[in-house]
Structure 1
Amino acid sequence: MIWDTFTWTTPPWQRNEDCTHMAVTLVNTGGGEIAITTESVRGDDATEALADLLMGPGGKGSGTVLLPGLVGVVVRRGIDVMWMAQPPISISANGAGEWEIGVAGADPGEVTAFSATDAHDLFTRLWAAYPS
């Protein structure tokens, strides 16, 4: 993913608005186990929602992208507590040592999967653009 510029007037983590997306953070805890955490986030699209997760409360200070074993983040448009409680996400390691993330029953454009590399890259660019 390429994050050349940020075109928003107000960054999503500084907006006073309701959440519009759900973010599912996937972390490899070892032994073939993947831990998930879900959170409501703000943004006009999946990238802005990921930016809110990374820079908002619990993000910039604690460093979501610094989690050991981060596999990726799945962002879904809309808030659905049933989906949030048990997201239909499948994760598998491919032969190249990378993770493949799949989402069952997702409509095109409704769900975006970001790899750990994508999340790290976006965080680095956000930190450079918004250091405080």
Structure 2
Amino acid sequence: MTFTWKTPPWERHEDCTHMAVTLTHVGGGEIAVASESVRGDNATDALADLLMGPGGAAKMSLPGLVGVVVRRGIDVMWMAQPPIEAAVSDTGEWTIAVHGVDEADVTAFSADDVRDLLARLRAAYG
């Protein structure tokens, strides 16, 4: 994959433009969430900032990773208690639902999507 940015999001000196919520299955059907603000021109850039920023790649190697939800804009209340539900479907796949926001402002990345992007970023940037 070719990345089109001139400066990778994790190396930019600019304000954060998105929120990223990492969902991790911690056992017993419980999901832990961790929210942080990230930079980027779109959801994929914002996910790249999350992955390549300090400690980002280590978080994504967790065996319980369910996915990451990226939302455009910063809303502290949303970060504190994101309206996200994760559930296992009949086929055993995780599904992620986000409530109360415009779908155009939210992107849900599966664990496979996250790990694939991380592998591509590592190949391109080390």
Instruction: Give the shorter-chain TM-score range.
Output: over 0.9
1:40 counterpart = 2:3:
no
Alignment deviations for residues 60-108 of structure 1 (CA, whole Å, 9 cap, x no partner): 4xx2210120000000000000100110001110111110000001202
1:101 counterpart = 2:100:
no
3-state secondary structure, aligned to 1:87: coil
For the residues of structure 1 that align with 2:69 and 2:52, how far apart are their CA atoms? 16
Offset, 1:23: 0.3
For the residues of structure 2 that align with 1:8 and 1:66, how far apart are their CA atoms? 25
For the residues of structure 2 that align with 1:10 and 1:33, how far apart are their CA atoms? 38
1:59 is aligned with what amino acid? G
Paired position in structure 1 for 2:80: 85
Which ranges of structure 2 fall in alignment gaps of 5 or more residues?
Answer: none
Aligned-residue identity in percent: 70
- What TM-score comes out, normalization by structure 1 length? 0.93
Which ranges of structure 1 fall in alignment gaps of 5 or more residues?
Answer: none
Offset, 1:41: 0.4
Instruction: Spell out the pairing of 1:1-132 with structure 2 (5 A cutoff).
Output: 4-60=1-57, 63-131=58-126
3-state secondary structure, aligned to 1:37: strand
Offset, 1:57: 1.4
3-state secondary structure, aligned to 1:109: helix
Offset, 1:127: 0.1
Deviating beyond 3 angstroms after TM superposition, the runs of 4 or more aligned structure 1 residues are none
For the residues of structure 2 that align with 1:22 and 1:115, how far apart are their CA atoms? 16
How well do the aligned residues superpose, as a CA RMSD in angstroms? 0.8
For the residues of structure 2 that align with 1:112 and 1:68, how far apart are their CA atoms? 22
